[in-house]
Structures are given as structure tokens and as C-alpha cells.
Structure 1
């Protein structure tokens, strides 16, 4: 299995598509570096900034409109989707562009100064009202989870048969990449041990909540972008956001203190945190292997195997 390559688009093609979409020329089209699955471009139309993304995976962006409305309507600084269409085999979406740059580009001192607002914004996102939806795991186009329980979701997420998804044929990675079957199976067994503690909790989970998907103008958090959302335990986002700053800042404890002040209880805190680490870490192992990121794979493997309760 070769590493996944995101769609290839050039600026001239994007300009032509946007001119056809708006009926007039747009301005300042530029390619955005980064992004693992989508080709991303910034542009302006009538002096307002927007983002257009292209993805070739089946069902790409189908739930994005629901997500953007759910979050933006409840005070989360998340970009609203304004258009969703196709060009050939590619899906594309047009969304608002949030102010600010990536949190990852700020200094450690600047990021540390944003801790209170960072914790507040992520906590608001995790506790939006999802009472009109049902289910766990990946969201469908209507906004409900596709699985009846958290355990069903993670079991199917890691099964061998992933036909029609990004992970189709992923067991080949054991033969063709650095992915080690014994390591994967050990971490999977640990996931099954601790996931029961996550299972009762159902919240909106961004599921990719790191410094490259969080925006700031240096004074406040201005946006949270590119959710890969599931319904599950918000500890998943806390475990990811903790990596925004070195361990000495103890972001996990800061999240716990803030949310307890808001009246949010944390039963089985340590076990839920371990369940979150193994859930995301296991997916990280196979992702890094598929993308040929061997150094990241080694770091993730070391972290997971050295976790203790």
C-alpha cells in the first residue's frame, strides 16, 4: 500500500472554478500548505476571506454543513460552510475563513498566555447541545452518530474490512510499512480494557483538536477548524489539546480544574484519559505508517507502550 496523496489542484483551475461559481473573478487565490487529506486554498470575494477545500474520498464534507451550523450557532468560533459541490471525482466545499493564524506558529510563551481562552473555547465546543441527535462515533449527513454504542464504533473502526473508506486494505500496512502487528494488537487490547470507561459519555468531540486546527490572533482564540467529529467522550479532545504545550504546563489538569468549576464532574478520570489516549494513539500508529511518517510512528509507539494507569 502506497502513502495516500491528497488531490492535486493548481491555482488557475481553482480560479476558473470560483469564477464559474460566483459569476465573477475572485481575488488573492493562494494554496495553503499542510493538510493531510484535502487540497486547501484561500481566496477573497468582495473583500471577504474564504476557504475552498478539495477531497477525493467518498462522502467528503457531507456532514460539514451540519457541524458548522451546530457549532457556530452555539457560540463556538467555527467556520460556517457556504457551499458544497463536486468537480469531476472531487468534492469541494467553500467556507468562511476565520481570523488569525495557527496556534502552532506562536511561541510557547504566547500559547501559554492563551490557556484560559483555549480551555474555555474547547469546553464550550465539547458541551454544545446535541440532544436532537442520536448515536455514537462518526456523524452521518443528518448529524446523528452512525453506531448504537461507543464500543460498537471502535470495534468496527479497527476491523479489517474497511471497503470504500480511507482505511480500505489497511492490514496490508503490517507487511508493507513500519506498522508492527504485535504492537498494534497490544495497544488494541489496552484500548478494549479502558474504552468501557469512555462508553457512557456522549458529547460532541472534534477528534482532531491540536495546534494546527486552532487559530489565534495572539490575543485570543479566534477559530477552531477542520473537525473530524465523533460523538463520544470529550476526554478525547482534552488528550489531544494537551499536546499544544509541553507537559510542564499541565493542560490536562487545567482543563479538569476549569470544568469542575463549571460543575462538570470527572468520574473515572484517569481511566477515561487512558481510553482516549489509546483510541487516538492506535489510529495514529496506522496513519503515520500509511503516510510514511516513520519518526512520528516511533514516537507514538513509545508514548502508548509506556502509558501507565
Structure 2
């Protein structure tokens, strides 16, 4: 398997797409860094800033539109979706641009100061009302989970057959990359043992909740972007945040806030371990596929020592 490369477009191509979409003049088309799966550009229309994202992963933007409507209608500062379209073999999504820079660009002191607000927003997002939606795991374009249970999803997402997805043919990574079959199998068996604790819980999961997808102006959190949305145990998001902001006491801060607002989390320790293994297996595969060996071996050691 070759290393995945996100789509590449020239600014002139993006300008053509936008000129056909908007009646008013589009200015300032600029490529943005970040985004491992999409090509992202910012631009302005009538002095209002927007973002356009291009992807070759079918259906992902219909899901993002659903998530945008779900969250932004419940007070979560997620970019409102303006529209979807196609350009050549790519899908694109246009949304309003939220002001601010990613939290990763803030100083350590600013990040520490902003952490309580991050946790408040995380809690609000995880406890969004899900309406008549059903299912677990990845959210489909219709807004439902793709599987009947969390356990069914966990088994499916780690299965060899991932035809038509980003992970199509991923078993070849055992031969072509640093991904080790014995390590993967060991962590997978541990995941199955602990995921029974995650199984009963169904909430909205952002799916990629870290400092590069949290925006701030340095004084406050201005927004959350780039969800890889799922239904399941919200501690998956906490495990992600804790892994990325490891210099901060994320878990303790989170537990303090839950106690403060009266939310009880049964089997917290077992569920957070299950969440770490779930995230970790995705991380191992992703780092191997992207060719990020240092990140792979660092995560590998953490997972193997997690329950020893």
C-alpha cells in the first residue's frame, strides 16, 4: 500500500469552482495547512470569510453537513455548512470560517488557561440531543450510525475488508510498513476485553478532538472543526484530548467539571482504557499508512504498557 496523499488543487482551479458557485465576487483564495484527508482553502465573499474543502472520500461531506446542523443548532460553535458540490472526481464542502487559530499555536500558558473552556465545550458537544437517530459507530450521510452496537462497529472497523474506504487494503501494511501483526493483534484483543464497558453508552463523538481542531483567539475558544463523527462512548473524545495535551492534567480537569455539573460516569477507568485502545489501534494504522514511524513506535509503547 502506498502512503495516502490528500487531493492537490491549484488556487486557480478553486477560483473556477467558487466563481460558478457564488454570484458575488470571490477574493483572497488561500490554501490552508492542516487536514490530513482534505485540501482546504479560505476565501472571502462580500467581506465574509469562508472555507472550502475538497476530498476524494465519497459521502464524507454529506455527513459533515448533518453534523454541522446537529451541533450548531445546539450551541456548539461548529462551522455552519453553506453547501456541497462536485469538481471533477472530488467532492467539496463550503462552510463559514470560524475566527481564530488552532489551539496548538497558543502558548502553553494560554492552553492551560483555555482548558476549562475546552472541557465545557467537549461536554456540551458530547451531550448533544441526538433526536431520532439510531445506530453506533461512523455517522452515515443520513445521520444514523452504521452499526447496531458499539461492539459490532469495533469489530468491523478493525476487520481486513474495508473496501471503498480510506482503509481499503490496509492488511498490506503488515508487509509494506512498520505495522506489526503481533502488536496489532495483542492490542485488538485488549480492546475487545475493555470495549464491553463502552458498549452501553451512545452519545455524539467528535472523533478527532485535539488542539489542531479546536480554534481560539488566545482569550477564548472560538470554535471546533473537522469532526470524524460517530455515536458511542463520549470518553473516546476525552482519551484523544488527553493523549494530545499530555502536558496538561486533562483527565483530572474533566472529572472535576463533571462532578461540578452533576454528571456521574460509571466504570470510568475501564471505559477510558477501552477508549485508549480504540483510538490507539486507529492511530497505529494511520501512522503506518502515512509513513510516520516515530509516531507509530511512540504510540506502540504506550498501548503495550497501558494495562501491564
Q: Same fold (TM over 0.5)?
A: yes
Structure 2 counterpart of 1:12 = 12
Matched, 1:261 2:263: no
SS at match of 1:63: helix
Kept in 2, the 8 Å contact 1:103–1:215? The answer is yes
List gaps (5 residues or longer) in structure 2: none
Structure 1 counterpart of 2:34 = 34
Structure 2 counterpart of 1:234 = 234
Return the offset for 1:57: 1.3
SS at match of 2:62: coil
Question: TM-score scaled to structure 1, two decimals?
Answer: 0.98
Structure 2 counterpart of 1:133 = 133
Structure 2 counterpart of 1:287 = 286
Kept in 2, the 8 Å contact 1:288–1:297? The answer is yes
Structure 1 counterpart of 2:46 = 46
C-alpha root-mean-square deviation of aligned residues, in Å?
1.0
Structure 1 counterpart of 2:90 = 90
Kept in 2, the 8 Å contact 1:15–1:25? The answer is no
Most deviating of 12-21 and 272-281: 12-21
Structure 1 runs of 4+ with >2 Å offset: 243-247
Return the offset for 1:244: 4.5
CA distance in 1, matches of 2:116, 2:217: 15
Cα–Cα, structure 1 residues 244 and 164, in superposed 2: closer, same or farther, change >3 Å?
Answer: closer
Kept in 1, the 8 Å contact 2:25–2:46? The answer is no
Kept in 1, the 8 Å contact 2:8–2:39? The answer is yes
Matched, 1:107 2:107: yes
1:51-79 deviations in Å (ceiling 9; x for gaps): 00000112221211110011001000100
Kept in 1, the 8 Å contact 2:137–2:145? The answer is yes
Return the offset for 1:296: 0.7
SS at match of 1:175: helix
Structure 2 counterpart of 1:72 = 72
Q: How many residues align?
A: 308
1:86-142 deviations in Å (ceiling 9; x for gaps): 111100000010011000011111100011111101110000001321110011112
CA distance in 2, matches of 1:152, 1:245: 30
CA distance in 2, matches of 1:30, 1:290: 28
Structure 1 counterpart of 2:223 = 223
Return the offset for 1:4: 0.5
Kept in 2, the 8 Å contact 1:112–1:245? The answer is no
Kept in 2, the 8 Å contact 1:179–1:286? The answer is yes
Cα–Cα, structure 1 residues 144 and 174, in superposed 2: closer, same or farther, change >3 Å?
Answer: same
List gaps (5 residues or longer) in structure 1: none
CA distance in 1, matches of 2:167, 2:66: 24
CA distance in 2, matches of 1:72, 1:182: 43
Question: TM-score scaled to structure 2, two decimals?
Answer: 0.98
